[in-house]
Amino acid sequence: MTTAKRDTYTPETLLTVAVRVFNDRGYDGTSMEHLSKAAGISKSSIYHHVAGKEELLRRAVSRALDGLFGVLDEPGAVRGRSIERVEYVTRRTVEVLMAELPYVTLLLRVRGNTKTERWAMERRREFDQRVADLLKAAVADGDLRADLDIRLATRLLFGMVNSLVEWYRPQREGEADGAQVADTVVRMAFDGLRTGH
């Protein structure tokens, strides 16, 4: 028996614990027992807050998705030339990813074994598609090069952005801050590393 502490969790604080465990063990590899041990409360206390681990997953990936889709409704994403909109969305996507690091990490790792995971993957594809559409519009405007396959370029752009969940550690000594990372991503992706443009 683990010694259960008094249950002072809210659904929100319980979520923080659950996301850490999901990211450490994988969602599939996490049982209610693991969650109970990590939270230091009994399984029945957890069931008092949520219906089960799939609800915790849904809440966690919803937080990441709400952050990402929220960007698409911001003024900078809906007004102006497509090229400015797509650079804005890229910068803000990086910022949301860093602000919601554990939640976006979980979102990027779901594999589609449950209904909630498949829904999350579908929403993620929808977000990628919205960004790909913006890139296409900027190509049509003549602001982005037409000689690159947009589907491929979108994947590489997200490959670059999403790699942050693998190596960005805000607590690490000398780690770049959020604004610097966002700026480097945008300049590298849109202007490239070469001088003399």
Using the minimum distance from each CB to a second copy, give the nearer residue, 78 or 148. 148
| Largest Cα–Cα separation, the chain | 67
Contact set for a second copy, span 122-151 (CB under 8 A): 135, 142-149
DSSP 141: T
**Which range, of 12-20, 42-50, 70-78, 160-168, touches a second copy by CB under 8 A?**
160-168
Return d(Cα 15, Cα 59) in angstroms, integer.
Answer: 8
Residue where the block lists tokens 């089960």: 52
Using the minimum distance from each CB to a second copy, give the nearer residue, 19 or 165. 165
Min separation Cβ 40 and a second copy, Å: 26
Using the minimum distance from each CB to a second copy, give the nearer residue, 77 or 94. 94
Contact 148, 88 (CB under 8 A): no
State the CB neighbour count (10 A cutoff) for residue 81.
12
Residue ranges in contact with a second copy by CB under 8 A? 83, 135, 142-149, 152-153, 155-164, 166-167, 176, 180-181, 184-185, 187-197
